[in-house]
Amino acid sequence: MRTKLSYFLFFLALIAMSFPSCSTQTKEAKTSSRPNIVFIMTDDHSYQTLSAYDDRYIQTPNLDRIANEGVIFNNSFVSNSICAPSRAVMLTGKHSHINGQIDNFTTFDNTQPNFAKYLQQAGYQTSLIGKWHLRSDPTGFDNWEILIGQGNYYNSTFIENGEKTPSKGYVTDVITDKAMQWLDGRKKDQPFCLLVHHKAAHRIWQPNITMLDSLSEKEYKVPANFFDNYEGRKAAKLNKMSIIKDMDLVYDLKMNDDALPSKYRNAYKNMYNLMNPEQKEIWDAYYTPILEQFKEAGLTDDELAIWKYQRYMNDYLKVIRSLDDNVGRLLDYLDQNNLKENTLVVYTSDQGFYMGEHGWFDKRYMYEQSLRTPLLMRYPEGIKNKGAIEELVQNIDYAPTFLDFAGVDIPEDMQGASLKPLLNNEKMNWREAIYYHYYESPNEHGVKKHYGIRTDRYKLIHFYEDMDEWEFYDLQKDPEEMHNLFHDEQYSSLIKELKSKLEELQKQYKVTTY
């Protein structure tokens, strides 16, 4: 009996050894179910110049690839349309007045929680590469390689985990190279969260020399409201972001001639001098003939305004071409290294941008072109939804979304909501309106402080502090926001209702400054 029993027990032990233990299975299942996260964020990329949204100006096949293989958010917005505040919102999941980064001049409190810290604590490897722009050092990252301030398009210096290091080449290429190098060297037995934050397409839109082909010059249709007179919109008249009046011939448009008027000539020359001789040679071969043609033409008034618009668009869109190419390089890396299926890829911009609408460049206002931002997501293993998502989403939602996918509890003080239910077709009560608040005034571009509410159809804006102006738009009838209907009696009850909802949002988000 003892012999038979011994053989039987030995046989059971062999069977047990051939299978993983329950605890091991649970651990492995939990690890494999947590996606890697690649968060690609560009700077000032307008949704109008991403062809999955709008194909009038450019084709962006690699960005479209994310949308085609995943989802595209058609109503994605920021909460404060300016660089540093937008980045702080994404990190913390909290509005600017809560995380403290209300403008570009404040130093970010890097001791506060952010989604990278929570992921790090949950066993994720974390890395940030590219633009940071928050003055204090990044925290929550095992590795960080950031540009100094805005950085430069050519041969820019990085700070790598506290040490300054030079780079050679075009910054969009360099950031992508660094991202793939980090992926190569990461620990393969841990999930990772990689933030790839590009400088492009921030002003002054210096294209890669590989894009400087005179045959690629195009003429773009001028927006219908390019010569907007801002009737009924007092705050819109006061800014200094006009292509006609404020776009600098030397700094913005690279017409490097000492005889031309320029407010920022020295700043342009400093950036130009970062290029090596070979880069300068190609650069000059492209821009010098354009400069000579411009001087000979003697343009004035409307003709000069339209010429400036065309130069702006050609330079900006060449920068976008490089962005798209490099997004493709990174997607190819993920695909070729068997990382596609279990990696959540997110593409967005820190805010939208004006491509001549209302005669403007830059951002800041709560009008659609700067309020809206691209948002694309791909995660083959973990997203059931495909195609377009129409719900109103905002950059306060990114941090809770990443934590939710990683299986990390979302802190109660985060003000955003996870997008995971929307990505998986789960029925739920979603927000009916978003809150916006811009604080940076005075500033270089003269945009006044304002806050407002946007629903799926209507928008109400209040400009305050040194002015008291309200604007109301019916976006269905007036998508270009040309007609301020705030004083139209037929909308008085609706405006009253929106004001009440606005106050509710301010109470919900604990807003005290307005």
pLDDT digits (tens, 9 = 90+) for 68-112: 999 999 999 999 999 999 999 999 999 999 999 999 999 999 999
Instruction: Say what the pLDDT of residue 123 is.
Output: 97
Q: Does the pLDDT at position 333 exceed 70? A: yes
Task: Give Rg (Cα) of the chain.
Answer: 25
Which pLDDT belongs to residue 38?
Answer: 98
Which two structure tokens, joined as six digits, stand for 450?
């304002």
- Identity of residue 338: N
* Structure confidence by residue, pLDDT tens digits, 321-330: 999 999 999 9
Q: Is the pLDDT of residue 403 over 90?
A: yes
Measured CA to CA, the distance from residue 392 to residue 458 in angstroms comes to 13
Residue 437 has pLDDT above 90, yes or no: yes
Residue pair 373/53 in contact (Cβ under 8 Å)? The answer is no
Q: Is the pTM of this model over 0.85?
A: yes
Mean pLDDT of the residues in the chain: 93
- 10 has pLDDT over 50: no
Token pair of 55 as six digits: 């194909």
Say whether pLDDT at 148 is over 50. Answer: yes
Give the pLDDT confidence score for residue 215 in this predicted structure.
62
Provide the residue ranges of all domains of the chain, joining segments of one domain with +: 36-206+314-431, 225-308
Cα–Cα separations (whole angstroms), residue 512 to 53, 239, 459: 36, 26, 21
Helix (H) or strand (E) run with residue 101 in it: none
User: CA torsion 195→196→202→205, rounded to 10°?
Assistant: 180
Q: Give the pairing type, strands 393-394 and 76-77.
A: parallel
Q: How many CB atoms lie within 10 A of CB 19?
A: 9
The values of phi and psi at residue 251, to 5°, are: -65, -50
d(CA 12, CA 9): 5
**Distance from C-alpha of 153 to C-alpha of 270, rounded to nearest angstrom:** 12
- Mean pLDDT value of segment 275-303: 97
Q: What is the pLDDT of residues 242-255, one digit of tens each?
A: 999 999 999 999 99
Mean pLDDT to the nearest integer, 469-485: 98
pLDDT of 20 above 80:
no
The answer, yes or no, to whether residue 14 has pLDDT greater than 50, is: no
Q: Which residues of 216-253 are buried (b: 16+ CB within 10 A; e: fewer)?
A: eeeebebbebbebebeebebbebbebbbbebbbbbbbb
- DSSP state, residue 210: G
**C-alpha to C-alpha distance for 227 and 306, rounded to whole angstroms:** 10
Query: Percent of the chain scored above 90 by pLDDT?
Result: 91
9: confidence class by pLDDT, cuts 50, 70, 90: very low
115: exposed, middle or buried (Cβ count in 10 Å: 0-12, 13-18, 19+) = buried
pLDDT of residue 24: 30
User: What's the rounded mean pLDDT across residues 200-212?
Assistant: 97
Does the pLDDT value for residue 358 go beyond 90? yes
Predicted confidence (pLDDT) at residue 1 exceeds the cutoff of 90? no
| Per-residue pLDDT at 227 | 98
* Torsion sign (Cα): 49, 52, 53, 58: positive
Enter the tokens of residue 288: 């010098």
| Mean pLDDT across 331-357 | 98
Cβ pair 360, 81 in contact under 8 A: no
What per-residue confidence (pLDDT) applies to 32?
52
Mean pLDDT of 453-457: 98
Count other Cβ atoms within 10 Å, centred on residue 202.
Answer: 21
Who wins on pLDDT, 22 or 408?
408
Query: 154 burial class (0-12, 13-18, 19+ CB within 10 angstroms)?
Result: buried
Determine the pLDDT at residue 216: 75
- Tokens at 323, concatenated: 């962005």
pLDDT at site 504: 98
Instruction: State the CATH class of domain 36-206+314-431.
Output: alpha beta
> What local confidence, expressed as pLDDT, does residue 17 receive?
37
